[in-house]
Every structure is written in C-alpha cells, then in structure tokens.
Amino acid sequence: MADANSPLYETATDYVRHHLGFMKFGQRPDGSWGIAHSQEEAAQMGFWGIHVDSMLMSLLLGVIFMGIFFTVSRKATSGVPGPLQNFCEAIIEMVQTNIKQSFFAKNDLIAPLSLTIFCWIFMMNLMDLVPVDWIPLLAQTMAGDPHLYFKAVPTTDLNITLGFAVSVFFLIIFYSIKVKGLGGFLGEFAFHPFGKWALPLNLILELPGFLAKPVSLALRLYGNMFAGEVIFLVIALIGYFQLPLHFAWAVFHILIITLQAYLFMMLTIVYLNQAHTVPHEAH
C-alpha cells in the first residue's frame, strides 16, 4: 500500500514528483561524481548521466527471463509438462505463429529476437503492477536514504524504450543494405513513389516515415506505461480507500502491459520483413 501521507512529502505533488524521479548517477556541478539528491541536481548532470534504477531493473529482469527459459529448456520433457514449461511453450508458439504470418524471408535471428523483445518488455511492464511504494522503499532501506529516488518500471524511462527502438532501427538499416544493397536501400527513398525524376519530392515523402519508425516504437511504449504509472500514483493518494480502485486499474492494466509488449514485437517483425523485401522492379 502506498504511503502518500508520509512526513517526507509535504503535498501530493511532492509525492508524485518523487516517485517519477530517477536514481541518476553523473557529474555534479562541483565536478564530483555521484547520485543526484534532487531533481534539479539530476537535471544539471545532463545527457551523460545514467539512470541507475532503470539499468539495474532492466538487467535484473533480463537475467530472470534468461534464467527461466534456460531452466525450462534443461528440464523440458516430452511427457506431461509442468505449468512453467506449458507457459513457456505457449509463448514460443505464439511468437512462431506471428513470425510465420508476418515474416516471409529466412533469417534465424528473427525468432529469438522477437521472443526476447516480447518477454523482456512484458517483464519490465509487469513491474507496474507492484504497489508503487514497495520497490522504492526497499531500495531506500537498503541504501539507508529515505529520500532516494528509485523507479521500478524501466519502460517508464524514455531512455530504455528508445534503446529498444534504436536497436531495432539499426537492424532495419543493416538488413535493408544487406538484402537490397546500398544502392537499393537508398533508391527506396530517392526513386519511390514517383520515379527518379521526382527525387526531391520522393525524399520529402519517404524519409520522415522511415525516421518515424524508432520514434513511434519508443513513444508508444513509453507513453502508455508512463500514463499507467501516473494513474497508480494518483490512486495511491486516496489512502486506505485505494485498494478497490487499485485492483480495478491493475486488472485493466494487465491488458495494456501485454498489448504493448505484443505490439512492439509485431512492429519489429513487420519492419524487419520490409527490410528483407525487395521491390519487384529490382528483380
């Protein structure tokens, strides 16, 4: 249960702002390095500051994901499977089905990439269902600092969602050049849709849509998860009467958590399929 009435917070706004802050490590204005103790100090650290909480939770959840699937793969049986094996097999089958329906080239990277994206993002999103004060309070207790900032949901950090999106974007460029050649890749922007005589217009039409792919991937995931987190914080301000609303929003939020992970995976598959597709006139 959230403790919005703690003496650490003078107003409800202070409570929400504190829970939306990051544990940021970087160079302070005086030249020293360390953890920021206020949002103002975090802002002064600039671009090169690191959100330690986002990185820590991302890596921890990634290790848990790999550990679960590694354990299941080692103990998998052709007989009657256990609940965990059934669950993992259902996820793998779902990923394989979507790849067969949306990816028409041959690339052994697509299946493990799609599985990793779905499971990793889903686990990050799932942290949003943990009561908003539990993990930050644990971090504050371990650090001995009741004012410590700590965000438990990595996908509410735009740096994390952009990291995923930019990684996919680089793969799109890599496979586009590998499959179509540099000339074919650049030709998609220069010669389509109106032919080589309308090159400037083609660039104006094609480049924004191409560059929008990583932006849309990152902002869609970040926006939905950030909004969900804010709603949980607002519900927490109600105090002891928050439980029914918290439960109702959590049930609905399960759909958002799953859908956002699924959409990111599906768009990755679709974008990489486009990167592997050679226009008919290029054959």
DSSP classification of residue 82? -
Given the residues 28, 98, 220, 273, select the one marked as catalytic.
220
Q: Pick from 20, 12, 22, 14: which is nearest to 235 by CA? A: 12
Q: Tell me which H or E stretch contains 205.
A: helix 199-236
Degrees to nearest 5, angle at CA 228 with 223 and 233: 125
Given the residues 54, 58, 125, 224, select the one marked as catalytic.
224
DSSP states along 38-77: SHHHHHHT-TT-EEHHHHHHHHHHHHHHHHHHHHHHHH--
User: Is 220 in the active site?
Assistant: yes
Given the residues 38, 73, 86, 216, select the one marked as catalytic.
216
Burial 129-138 (b: 16+ CB within 10 A, else e): bebbbebbbe
- How far from each other are the two terminal CA atoms of the chain, in whole angstroms? 62
DSSP states along 13-47: HHHHHHHT---EEEE-TTS-EEE-SSHHHHHHT-T
User: Is 202 in the active site?
Assistant: no
Q: Pick from 153, 278, 159: which is nearest to 225 by CA? A: 153
CA 95 to each of CA 100, 101, 111, 241, 266: distance values in angstroms, whole numbers, following the listed order:
9, 10, 7, 40, 9
User: Is 17 in the active site?
Assistant: no
DSSP classification of residue 130? S
Contacts of 179 (CB under 8 A, 6+ apart): 105, 275, 276, 278
What is the amino acid identity at position 79? G
Residues with a known catalytic role: 216, 220, 224
